[in-house]
Amino acid sequence: MKEGSRKHGMLAPCAACKLLRRRCAPDCVFAPYFPANEPQKFASVHKVFGASNVNKMLQELPEHQRSDAVSSMVYEANARVRDPVYGCVGAISLLQQQIDSLQTQLAMAQAEALHIKSNHQFNTAASSQRPASSSSPDHRGNEADSLWFY
């Protein structure tokens, strides 16, 4: 690990060029997204997609989309390494199951809330004949007046 002593873009190869054992040109398409201090990122995408495919995909994209594409490829590659059969589809379907289960819970909670609300409205409608207790300051004022006069 000697790349710390060199400035970025000078002579230190990016993680991709280091792994591929080639010279890292100043306009290297990998360099901005695969820094030398994160070699695992390129190792994963190279293993799953192949360096030339990653190169092709990045070349075809406008520069402002490349960073997102790299994040996506790294995520997909890591998922494929973890789960060789389903890859990121495994993660997607697991999250989809969680969404379905949470939506069911939410629907049940909303139905319960509606039920409680309608019961509450029924109860308050039944007790609305009772006098309201919000006039206590006036009431206390009257009390003070009546004490004063007696």
Q: Are 41 and 74 in contact (CB under 8 A)?
A: yes
- What is the distance of C-alpha 79 from the center of its chain? 17
Closer to Zn ion at the Cβ: 30 or 76? Answer: 30
User: How many positions of this chain bind Zn ion (CB under 5 A)?
Assistant: 6
By CB under 5 A, is residue 31 in contact with Zn ion? Answer: yes
By CB under 5 A, is residue 30 in contact with Zn ion? Answer: yes
| Cα–Cα distance for residue pair 110/27, rounded to 1 Å | 56
Residue 54's alpha-carbon distances to 16, 29, 39, 146, in angstroms, are 10, 10, 15, 90
Helices (H), 49-133: 51-60, 63-82, 88-126
By CB under 5 A, is residue 12 in contact with Zn ion? Answer: no
Question: Could you tell me the smallest distance in angstroms from the CB atom of residue 73 to Zn ion?
Answer: 16
Smallest Cα–Cα separation from 74: which of 93, 37, 47, 36? 47
By CB under 5 A, is residue 70 in contact with Zn ion? Answer: no
Interface residue with Zn ion among 17, 45, 70, 77 (CB under 5 A) is: 17
Question: Could you tell me the smallest distance in angstroms from the CB atom of residue 34 to Zn ion?
Answer: 7
By CB under 5 A, is residue 19 in contact with Zn ion? Answer: no
Interface residue with Zn ion among 19, 20, 28, 43 (CB under 5 A) is: 28
Binding site for Zn ion (CB under 5 A): 14, 17, 24, 28, 30-31
